[in-house]
Every structure is written in C-alpha cells, then in structure tokens.
Amino acid sequence: MDHSRADGHATDSMSRGGSAGVPADQATVRRSNLALVLRHVSACGPCTRSAVAAATGLNKATVTSLVSELQARGLVKEMGPQHAGSVGRPGVALALDGSRVGALGMEVNVDYIAAIATDLAGRVIIDRRIGFDAMGSGPERSLDELARMAERIVADLDRLGITPAGITVAVPGLIDATTGTVVVAPNLGWRGVAVTERLSHANIAADIPVAVDNDANLAALAEYTSGVAAGTSDLVYLTGEVGIGGGVIAGGRLLGGADGFAGEVGHVVIDPSGESCRCGRVGCWETKVGLAALVRMATPDRAYGTGPQLVRDPEERLAEIEHRRAEGDPRVDAAAAEVGRWLGIGAAMLVNLFNPRVIVLGGYFARLADLIIPAAQQTLARLGMSDAVERCRFAASDLGFGAASRGAAGVVVERALSDPTSISIRTPPTILPSA
Amino acid sequence: MDHSRADGHATDSMSRGGSAGVPADQATVRRSNLALVLRHVSACGPCTRSAVAAATGLNKATVTSLVSELQARGLVKEMGPQHAGSVGRPGVALALDGSRVGALGMEVNVDYIAAIATDLAGRVIIDRRIGFDAMGSGPERSLDELARMAERIVADLDRLGITPAGITVAVPGLIDATTGTVVVAPNLGWRGVAVTERLSHANIAADIPVAVDNDANLAALAEYTSGVAAGTSDLVYLTGEVGIGGGVIAGGRLLGGADGFAGEVGHVVIDPSGESCRCGRVGCWETKVGLAALVRMATPDRAYGTGPQLVRDPEERLAEIEHRRAEGDPRVDAAAAEVGRWLGIGAAMLVNLFNPRVIVLGGYFARLADLIIPAAQQTLARLGMSDAVERCRFAASDLGFGAASRGAAGVVVERALSDPTSISIRTPPTILPSA
C-alpha cells in the first residue's frame, strides 16, 4: 500500500509515432489514468473536470471519458444540479461517490470480533463489535462467527445499495498475506489458519476479494490516514492488549519487512533478568506492559498469580481497574506509572531505531493515557538518543477498538483507488465525444 | 535515495491537445525521460537505441534526441565501431560513459579518513585511506585533512579527464543532511560541525555539490547495491568499530526516520543491569559488542581498565587480537563468542522489528566473522520470533573499510542518474532529426 501521490502519469498518446503500441499497454495506460483522476477527485474534490485536467496534465476530452467510466463504476458522482445538454459540463463539480461502493474491514481479537464498513471517503457506514472468546473457541468456531458477521454486514450493505470492494481481516499475529493465512497468532492460539479460504465459503458474492493482515499494522495505517497523528510520515503505533502489537509507518509507508512480519514488538527481550514470558523467553516487553502486567500490579487481589497466564475477559478486567481508579485506589496509579516506565524503556529503543515523530498508543494504553504517558515520556527522555527524543512525542489514539478494522477498510479503499478497473461496471458508461 | 525502478514515464507529447502545456512542464518531462533512458542503459546496457525505445515506450526519434543529450553530458557512450551515416545507428550499442563523470565518496572515522572515487557504473577509480586520529585532532584539523584529501583526489581525477558529479562525506553520527551538518558524533567528540560549509572553502570547483550522511546508512546502501547481500530489499547492516553503527534497508529503500537518525543501534539499552556506557546510560549494546568490549575480553592484560574509555589505535588493537588468535590464544575465541552472543541478543530485537532477510556484519565483526557468526546465529535462533528468524541469516561484509565511502559514492551516482541535467554539458549536443 503506497500512500505517496502519483508524481507522473501515462498519457493516452503513448503509443503514437514510431514506438510499438500494443493493446495491453493501452489498457495499462487507461487504468493508470483512471487511478490518477480518481485520486485527484479523492484528495482535492469536489472539483470540476477542467480542474482535474489542469492538475493532471491530461487533456479535457480524455478526462471527460475517464470520468464517465469512473461514474459507471460507481466511484465518482456529480455534485449539485446538472447543466443538461452542455458538453463537458464545465461547471459541475465531481466528488467521490459514496452511494454504491464501500469497503469492509474486520478484526478478530482475543475477546471480540469487530467490523467497520466505510464508503470510499472513509466515512463509517456500519460499526459493529461483539464480545467473543476467540481464544477459547478455537480457529474453526471463530472463523464461523467471523463469516456470519461478514455475511450479515454484506447483506445490510446490499440493502443500502452498497457493495464492498473487498474485505480485509485484521488478526493479531504473523500473516502470510499472499495466501491469506495466519502463520501464528500466539494470543489466539492459532497456527496455520487459512482465513481467506474459510471466508471464500461464506455466503458472500464470490467476486468480493478477501485479504488478511496484521492488526497492529492495519491500525498504524488507520492512525496515519485518520488518527491523532494523521499525515505524520514517520510514526510508531503501539497497542496494549493481552499482547503488545506494533506497526511502523516509515517515510509514509507501512514497514513490512521481508515477510510482512516487521514491527513485532511484544517479544523483544527488554529485561534479560526479568519474568518468564508464556512464549518461553525471559523478559519480553509484553511481560512488562501487557494487560496481564497491569492487572497483576493494579489488582493484586484479583490477579491470576504471577505465572505466564492469559488475562481472561480483558475488557471486564480493564473496566474493574478503571472503576477502582475512580474510587481513588492508589495501586492503579502506581501500576500505570510502572507500565509507563517500561513503555518508555522500550520506546527509547524504538526511537533510536525508527526515529519517529510520534508514538501513538492504542488499546488499554489509550484508556489510561493520562497516567501512562507522563511516566513513559520521562523515561524516554532519559534513555533515548536526545536529538531524536526531543522531536518525538507520545499521543493517545482516539480510534479505540476500531483502529484495526478501520485500517483494514482503508486498505480496501486504497486498492480500489489504485485500480478503479477492479470495481465492476453496473451500467454501461456514456463515453462522450472529445471536446 | 530511491532505488525502485521507474514504472511509468512522461512522454514528450504530454502537452498536446487541450491541456495547458507550459515550458516548465516540458523541461520536467525532458528531465524525467533523460533519467528514464539513462537508468535503462545503466541497468540493461549495452543496448541499442531501438531496445531502449521498446523498453521505455518512448518513440525512437525521442530516444535518439535524448541519447544525444546524454552523450553531450558525458553520461552515455557508444560501444564498438559506428556505422557512419546511418540515421539512428540501429546496430550501435549504448553504455554508461565512464570516461568523464565520476563520483567521490569520503569517510571520516575515529582513526582514519578514506575516499573512494568511482565511475557511474560503480567501478572504483581511486581508493585511498590514511590513518588519522580524528578524535584527538578535533573537528577543525580533521576537516582540514579531509579537505586536503578531497582536493588531491579531485585534482587526480581531473588529470584523468574526470569530474566528480558530487562529493558525499560519511561521518559516524547524527547528520542534518539539509544543512550538511554533523549534529553529534559521539565517537569523534563532534557536535554541530558544518562539514559542507568547510568543504565549500576547499580548492575544489564550486559547482561540485557536497553532502554529508551517516556512515552506517551509506554502508548499508553499499551492501544493498554491491555487497554480499546485493539486491536484498530488506537487510540490516551492522558495523563493529569503537562504536556500533547500523543502517536499515526496508523494502529497497534506506530507512531514514523523521530526521535521518534511524538505525542508531549503538545506544539501545540491551542489558539494564549491565556496565555503564560512556554516553551516561547503562547497558548500551555498544558496551557489549563494541571494540572496547572485545579488547577487554580478548586482551585483559592490555585493556584500558573497565571504565567507559575509548579504544586508542583501534586498528592496532585489532591487529594484535588477530595476531594472538593466530598464536592460539583461547581468550580470543572466547571473547569473540561472547561478542557473538550479545550480537545475537540484539539481532533478535532487530529481526522482530525489521524482519530482514540478511544481517550484514561490517567493521571488525567481519574480520572475526568465523568466530562471531556461529554464536550470534545460535542466540538469534533462541531469542527471535522463530518464523522471522528461520528466514534470516548473518553474512560478513566483504567491502572492508571502504563500505561507507563506496555507499557515499553510490549516493552521488544515484543522484546523477535521477537527474542527468545536473551534469553540465561540455560539448553542444547533436540533436538528430526525427526518424
């Protein structure tokens, strides 16, 4: 997924003169120009065809033809009253069409399944979340539940006249994106789970493509496109849940690594003389700042011992901690400050390695941000390279539990904007004659 | 610096028809097409004009005109005998011209100054290195020495008829590339040193641009373009010297971070209960795998105590360690294995965060690679995320002390290839008529 703006374009006159024009090239050029026009309308709309022509360098007749096709694919619409009969309709503004094509992002996490459907402008149409014990239920029943939710939402969208351009599912684990398989998701207890394959058997139109990606990577994209640090081209996203997820935006692009496994912060060893982690290592960052660590410190009377157990009912435990905090229990403040301190220790490593401008905190970190961030910032200032640290701040995410689903929907939108021909034509386009 | 191949291009007919063509656009299009042709010749040459036209989609008359200009700028030459009089010279192969335009990369490090001059194909023309106590001499005298070396090499190149397209200087520290200033270089004891400004007063042609960049980042680029892991689009480069430098190639691009400070691995805290570092923190990676740690363990009778002192005469100390190893001193093997173990501990963190395919070891790590790598690989396998670790290997750099200078020269070449108009015309181009 490349968010950089197109800085060049192919014209429809590429194959004139002496070069060997072939049909395949013309299709490529057309697709590239459709994307160019669609991105311009998406970023700068509402705007007229003339403005699109001026900004893209395409001639107006070409723009008119491209816009017709984008209209036919349900991607662009005209705003306001049409001036019937005027060729090229110079005064009519174009905008993204939100009425027919949407995007569906979903997330399976330890104790819930969530979904967000948006239009092409990222406006939320449906936002759902159900409590679900994905860990206890196992992959098969979890995927059944996911499929049922997807079917219901696609049906609901259909009643609104909207077809999703695709479905992307966020999972907290290592993903093989090419096969749509979860390689391993420790906190779900999954290994080798073919998510895309299962959803292909759901009662959903077969031409809606399904993809799978890492939850924190998708949440990082959501923060980059629409969160508190939107537009910050170097940011790190950290989410505090039962596990600790991380996603890195570097130079405006998601850092994937060779296999899409980059940003796996949870099991970085941060205290070689610390506690055992349930992964078998000692002193993983997760043992210091995961929800289990907070629960253990904030509610020692209710903790599941000191062993490497999972936190059952995370949302319930967090609610209890917030309740005790409201009642003035000093152990909550102390626990959050200790989490903040270890968060700062790990953040110093991240700042030295990634030199981000912002570290966005999601999950439970965001819920207790006012307690966690001061301690984290103080520790970071002490341990990080000062020149990089001075220019980096923590920020609490305001996307809540929807961050990963929103990022997943964003990936679908991005794909549609990059290749408008992936959206099928419902009505034949009206190709206007050249001006 | 973007190594990705251009996947589109602007044609010379962009402004025909109804769009508002302006001269600035035509210049941009011309520049973009010059770069397109030059990159193709660079990557695929020797090749004919017809082959360039077919591969780029430009028409042959345009290619002929562009090639004429590239010849006039000394960037492209014809190979073999010319078929006099034949328009378009279909059978004549084109190649990068190595005779007139070169690139100069330099490096200031703790105990040496190095320089490598290459032609546009990256072939080394001059390779020099002098022992120099940059730390003891202070920035002013060091830059004087650097300027003298630059003057001598530019003069030597001039005698060969070659002008460098630019000079890039590698420095082990945080660099503000926009002002050409070293923000801080702990191992040199520099802070706020204006390298570009100083070289602008050297006796070098004023139109040769000078830039400064981080040594490990430049070395990582050299590994990516011409080292043991050439072409590996996700790699981490680590160099063991007095300090520990790191550079990261992610998705085929150098990871810079918000301020170009990314990849600063040396002062990541890796053992909170470890030794004090001379930076004031405790347990930095450098205290475990820097040259001082090796010297302390391998030659305890000769170490400078256990304090946070610098290693004087690093090359001499390393030679002594290699000598003792040859004599069978078991302490050398044990010390290298211990360095390898801590290298593996830090590498596990890097693999979880960057998911690289290869970790290239430079500096003294490469000199003792056969001792260090087995211990490092074993520790990495134990501590890293298994799915990422299984696909990652260590490799010893074969670029030696020249890695950073070579990467610096590579940056100059890259800039010339991206904008051929930055190279001045020596003879007026012969613009041939369109075919």
3-state secondary structure chain A: CECCCCCCCCCCCCCCCCCCCCHHHHHHHHHHHHHHHHHHHHHHCCEEHHHHHHHHCCCHHHHHHHHHHHHHCCCEEECCCCCCCCCCCCCCEEEECCCCEEEEEEEEECCEEEEEEEECCCCEEEEEEEECCHHHHHHHHHHHHHHHHHHHHHHHHHHCCCEEEEEEEEECCEEECCCCEEEEECCCCEEEEEHHHHHCCCCCCCCCCEEEEEHHHHHHHHHHHHCCCCCCCCEEEEEECCCEEEEEEECCEECCCCCCCCCCCCCCECCCCCCECCCCCECEHHHHHCHHHHHHHHCCCCCCCCCCCCCCCHHHHHHHHHHHHHCCCHHHHHHHHHHHHHHHHHHHHHHHHHCCCEEEEEEHHHHCHHHHHHHHHHHHHHHCCHHHHCCCEEEECCCHHHHHHHHHHHHHHHHHHHCHHHCCCCCCCCCCCCC
- Tokens, residue A26: 């013309």
Question: What is the rounded CA–CA span in Å between residue B27 and residue A133?
Answer: 61
Do residue B410 and residue B394 come from a single domain?
Answer: no
Name the residue facing B262 among A355, A383, A391 (closest C-beta): A355
B58 touches chain A (CB under 8 A): yes
Query: How would you label A355-387 residue by residue, b for 16+ Cβ within 10 Å and e otherwise?
Result: bbbbbbbbbbbbbbbebbbebbbebbeebbbeb
Task: From A97, A114, A145, give the residue that closes a domain.
Answer: A97
Q: Tens digit of pLDDT for each residue in A236-282?
A: 999 998 889 999 999 999 999 999 999 999 999 998 889 999 888 99
ipTM score of complex: 0.83
A95 touches chain B (CB under 8 A): no
Q: How confident is residue B427, by pLDDT bands cut at 50, 70 and 90?
A: low
Which of chain A's residues have a Cβ under 8 Å away from the Cβ of B435? Answer: 18
B3 touches chain A (CB under 8 A): no
Do residue A414 and residue A335 come from a single domain?
Answer: no
Q: How confident is residue B400, by pLDDT bands cut at 50, 70 and 90?
A: confident
Q: CA of A27: how far to CAs of A33, A51, A76, A260, B121, in Å?
A: 10, 24, 20, 30, 35
Do residue A209 and residue A241 come from a single domain?
Answer: no
Asked whether residue B434 carries a pLDDT value surpassing 80, the answer given is no
Which of chain A's residues have a Cβ under 8 Å away from the Cβ of B263? Answer: 353
B61–A281 CB contact, under 8 Å? no
Question: Between B310 and A246, whose confidence is greater?
Answer: A246
Q: Tens digit of pLDDT for each residue in B108-166?
A: 998 899 999 999 989 999 999 998 999 889 999 999 999 999 999 999 999 999 999 99
Q: What is the mean pLDDT of residues A73-92?
A: 68
Q: Tens digit of pLDDT for each residue in A314-362?
A: 788 899 999 999 999 999 999 999 999 999 999 999 999 999 999 999 9
B18–A53 CB contact, under 8 Å? yes
Nearest CA in chain B to A269: B349
Asked whether residue B284 carries a pLDDT value surpassing 70, the answer given is yes
Do residue B272 and residue B371 come from a single domain?
Answer: yes
The CATH code of the domain that includes A379 is: 3.30.420.40
Q: What is the mean pLDDT of residues B196-204?
A: 92
Which of chain B's residues have a Cβ under 8 Å away from the Cβ of A433? Answer: none
Q: CA of A270: how far to CAs of A289, B152, B282, B349, in Å?
A: 11, 49, 13, 9
Judge whether B43 lies within some domain. yes
Work out the widest C-alpha separation in chain A, in whole angstroms. 81
Asked whether residue B301 carries a pLDDT value surpassing 50, the answer given is yes
Judge whether B284 lies within some domain. yes
Q: Tens digit of pLDDT for each residue in B339-371?
A: 999 999 999 999 999 999 999 999 999 999 999
For chain B, the C-alpha Rg in angstroms (whole number) is 24
B14–A263 CB contact, under 8 Å? no
Strand A244-250 relative to strand A235-240, pairing: antiparallel
Phi, psi of A169 (to 5 degrees): -110, 130
Task: From A97, A116, A143, give the residue that closes a domain.
Answer: A97
A 369-408 residues inside an 8 A Cβ radius of B: 383, 385, 387-388, 391-392
Which of chain A's residues have a Cβ under 8 Å away from the Cβ of B259? Answer: 355, 387-388, 391
Q: Count of CB contacts below 8 A, A vs B?
A: 193
Question: What is the rounded CA–CA span in Å between residue A14 and residue A162?
Answer: 36
Question: Between A385 and B221, whose confidence is greater?
Answer: B221
Query: A64, A354, A393, A432: which to substitute to probe chain B, counting the most B Cβ within 10 Å?
Result: A354
Asked whether residue B83 carries a pLDDT value surpassing 80, the answer given is no
Residues 6 or more apart whose CB falls under 8 angstroms from that of B113 comprise: B106, B107, B129, B130, B132, B134, B142, B145, B146, B149
Nearest CA in chain B to A263: B353
What is the SS3 assignment for B145? helix
Q: How confident is residue B310, by pLDDT bands cut at 50, 70 and 90?
A: low
Could you tell me the residue range of the domain that residue B107 belongs to? 101-218+403-418
Question: Between A308 and A302, whose confidence is greater?
Answer: A302
Residue type, position B199, single letter: L
B 102-141 residues inside an 8 A Cβ radius of A: none
Q: Tens digit of pLDDT for each residue in A293-302?
A: 999 999 888 7
Which of chain B's residues have a Cβ under 8 Å away from the Cβ of A435? Answer: 18
pLDDT at A345: 95
User: What do you get for the CA distance between the two ends of chain B, in Å?
Assistant: 36
Judge whether A344 lies within some domain. yes
Do residue A238 and residue A260 come from a single domain?
Answer: yes
pLDDT at B17: 31
What is the SS3 assignment for B261? coil
Do residue A275 and residue A319 come from a single domain?
Answer: yes
B318 and B351 Cβ atoms separated by less than 8 Å:
no
Task: From B97, B121, B137, give the residue that closes a domain.
Answer: B97
Taking residue B140's Cβ as centre, other Cβ atoms within 10 Å add up to: 10
Asked whether residue A51 carries a pLDDT value surpassing 80, the answer given is yes
Nearest to B251 by CA among A162, A36, A171, A255: A255
Do residue A143 and residue A199 come from a single domain?
Answer: yes
pLDDT at B95: 92
Q: Tens digit of pLDDT for each residue in B9-23?
A: 443 333 223 333 333
B262 touches chain A (CB under 8 A): yes
Do residue B326 and residue B183 come from a single domain?
Answer: no
The CATH code of the domain that includes B37 is: 1.10.10.10
Q: What is the mean pLDDT of residues A149-158?
A: 97
Do residue B119 and residue B199 come from a single domain?
Answer: yes
Judge whether B367 lies within some domain. yes
Domain count across chain B:
3
Strand partners of residue B240: B244, B363
pLDDT at A28: 77
Nearest to B270 by CA among A288, A345, A392, A375: A345
B22 touches chain A (CB under 8 A): no
Which of chain B's residues have a Cβ under 8 Å away from the Cβ of A184? Answer: 387
Do residue B378 and residue B323 come from a single domain?
Answer: yes
B59–A234 CB contact, under 8 Å? no
Out of A9-18, A119-128, B389-398, which region has the weakest mean confidence (pLDDT)?
A9-18
Do residue B253 and residue B134 come from a single domain?
Answer: no
Which of chain B's residues have a Cβ under 8 Å away from the Cβ of A273? Answer: 272-273
Asked whether residue B180 carries a pLDDT value surpassing 90, the answer given is yes
B391–A354 CB contact, under 8 Å? no
B221 and B406 Cβ atoms separated by less than 8 Å:
no
pLDDT at B433: 54
Do residue A177 and residue A265 come from a single domain?
Answer: no
Q: Tens digit of pLDDT for each residue in A382-407?
A: 998 888 899 999 999 999 888 999 99
Helix axes B314-326, B330-354, angle to 10 degrees: 120
Judge whether B142 lies within some domain. yes
A11–B9 CB contact, under 8 Å? no
Asked whether residue A433 carries a pLDDT value surpassing 80, the answer given is no
pLDDT at A199: 93
B256 touches chain A (CB under 8 A): yes
For chain A, the C-alpha Rg in angstroms (whole number) is 24
Q: Tens digit of pLDDT for each residue in A103-151?
A: 999 999 988 999 999 999 899 999 999 989 898 899 999 999 999 999 9
Nearest to A232 by CA among A64, A109, A359: A359
Question: What is the rounded CA–CA span in Å between residue A277 and residue A233?
Answer: 33
Question: What is the rounded CA–CA span in Å between residue B45 and residue A281?
Answer: 51
Nearest to A232 by CA among A240, A221, A217: A221
Residues 6 or more apart whose CB falls under 8 angstroms from that of B426 comprise: B72, B73, B74, B100
Asked whether residue A312 carries a pLDDT value surpassing 80, the answer given is no
Q: What is the mean pLDDT of residues B170-176?
A: 93
Name the residue facing B8 among A10, A264, A271 (closest C-beta): A10
Question: Between A416 and B18, whose confidence is greater?
Answer: A416
A 182-201 residues inside an 8 A Cβ radius of B: 183-184
Looking at residue B122, the DSSP 8-state letter turns out to be -
B114 and B401 Cβ atoms separated by less than 8 Å:
yes
Judge whether B427 lies within some domain. no
Question: What is the rounded CA–CA span in Å between residue A58 and residue A67?
Answer: 12
Judge whether A65 lies within some domain. yes
pLDDT at B243: 86
For residue B53, give how far its alpha carbon lies from the nearest alpha carbon of chain A (Å). Answer: 7
Judge whether B327 lies within some domain. yes
Residue type, position B77, single letter: K
Residue type, position B257, single letter: G
Strand B181-185 relative to strand B244-250, pairing: unpaired
